Amino acid sequence: MSEQHSTEPGGSTVDMSAQPKTKPCDSSLERLRIKKAFWLAILGLALAAILVIVLVAAGWKTSSDIVAIVGLFTSVLGTLVGAFFGVQVGAADKARANERADNVQKKASALAAAADANTIEKAKKLYPDLFV
């Protein structure tokens, strides 16, 4: 394993291998979760259809009664599936955003290590809010 070092303008050395390592988004795991959730949602809708068939076969003839029972079941199912997919999409986007932020941080560290003292002072004057 090779170590990477860079020299700062003041003569100090920065260990570039100590920079945080980014873990790439595991898209295969993400796809597997989404696929399983999709089939779980399909199973839930199939159960709702079976519930309707069973209720009609059991003698429930009033459509309002059947709609009330099936509506309770499907509303809970829809809420859970929607929440699951929302969390999955949000987590995937957060992982991608973190990966991009890590890459930008690495680039900024590399540029700072390669810059001379005059360039850094000029940057501090132009963007004082970044050097607080």
Instruction: Give percent above pLDDT 90 in the chain.
Output: 12
In a domain, 107, yes or no: yes
Nearest-angstrom CA–CA distance, 31 and 34: 5
Residue 21 lies in a domain: no
Q: Is residue 85 part of a domain?
A: yes
Token readout for 79 is 């809420």
* In-domain check, residue 127: no
Per-residue pLDDT at 102: 94
Answer yes or no: is 2 within a domain. Answer: no
Task: List the Cα angle 89/41/31 in 5-degree steps.
Answer: 40
Query: What mean pLDDT do residues 31-46 have?
Result: 84
Q: What is the pLDDT of residue 106?
A: 94
Q: pLDDT of 91-101, one tens digit each?
A: 888 888 999 99
Mean pLDDT of 24-36: 75
- Res 35 pLDDT > 70: yes
Q: What is the β-pairing status of strands 5-7 and 13-15?
A: antiparallel
- pLDDT at 2 (0 to 100): 44
Answer with the residue of higher pLDDT: 67 or 30: 67
Which H or E run contains 14?
strand 13-15
- Residue 25: per-residue pLDDT: 52
| DSSP string computed for 92-121 | HHHHHHHHHHHHHHHHHHHHHHHS-HHHHH
Domain limits for position 107: 26-115
Q: Is 132 a member of any domain?
A: no
Please report the pLDDT score of residue 105 as a whole number: 93
The domain total for the chain is 1
Q: Is the pLDDT of residue 3 over 80?
A: no
**Cβ-based neighbour number of residue 115 at 10 Å:** 15
Per the domain annotation, does 80 fall within a domain? yes
Please give the pLDDT value at position 23: 52
On whether residue 47 sits in a domain, the answer given is: yes
